Amino acid sequence: MLKSINHIGIAVKNLDESIETFRKIFAFENIHREIVVEQKVEIASFKVGEILIELTSPINENSPISKFLEKKGEGIHHIAFETDDVNKELERLSDEGVQLINKSATDGAHNMKIAFLHPKSTNGVLIEICQKK
C-alpha cells in the first residue's frame, strides 16, 4: 500500500542557487545535502510540514537528471510515495500491468530503499516508491 507522499523531487541545474531561491520562499533553517552515487545526483532537501522538497541536480552527464534537464528543463521531476515494502509493492504493481523502471529496490537518499515506475504507465508522471530502511 502507498501510504503518503514522502517527497517531491525537483530537477535543478545549480544546487547552491536553487537552495537560495527556495530559502526565500520557505524560510527553512535546516537543509540536508547528500550525494546519491547510485542515482548520480546530489540532493538538498528541506521539510514543509511532513513532506520533503528534494532539490536534485546531476553529478555527471550520465545522470538521469542530466537527460531530464536537457529534454524538459528545470521543474518537478517526480513524486515519491512511501510504502512499508518496496519490493512487495513492485510485485503488486507489476501484476497490475504497471511498467517499472526498477524491478527491485535500489538505494536512495535519506537511507531509503526506492524504485521508480515508468512514466509511460502513469500518464507522464514519474512516480517513486520508497521505504525507510
| Angle, vertex CA 10, rays to CA 8 and CA 11, nearest 5 | 150
Supply the DSSP symbol for 14: -
Cβ 75 to Zn ion, closest distance in Å? 14
In the bound complex, what is the minimum distance in angstroms from residue 131's beta carbon to Zn ion? 12
Q: Which is nearer to Zn ion, 27 or 107 (CB)?
A: 107
Of residues 52 and 120, the one with the C-beta less far from Zn ion: 52
* Binding stretches for Zn ion (CB under 5 A): 9, 80, 128
The residue (of 44 and 80) whose beta carbon lies closer to Zn ion is 80
Length of the chain equals 133
**114 neighbors 107 (Cβ within 8 angstroms):** yes
Q: Is 73 exposed, middle or buried (0-12, 13-18, 19+ CB in 10 A)?
A: exposed
Q: Give residues with Cβ within 8 angstroms of 105, minimum separation 6.
A: 86, 87, 90, 113, 114, 115, 131
Residue 123 CB, shortest distance to Zn ion, in Å, is 18
CB of 74 to Zn ion, least distance (A): 16
Q: Which lies closer to Zn ion via its Cβ, residue 9 or residue 85? A: 9
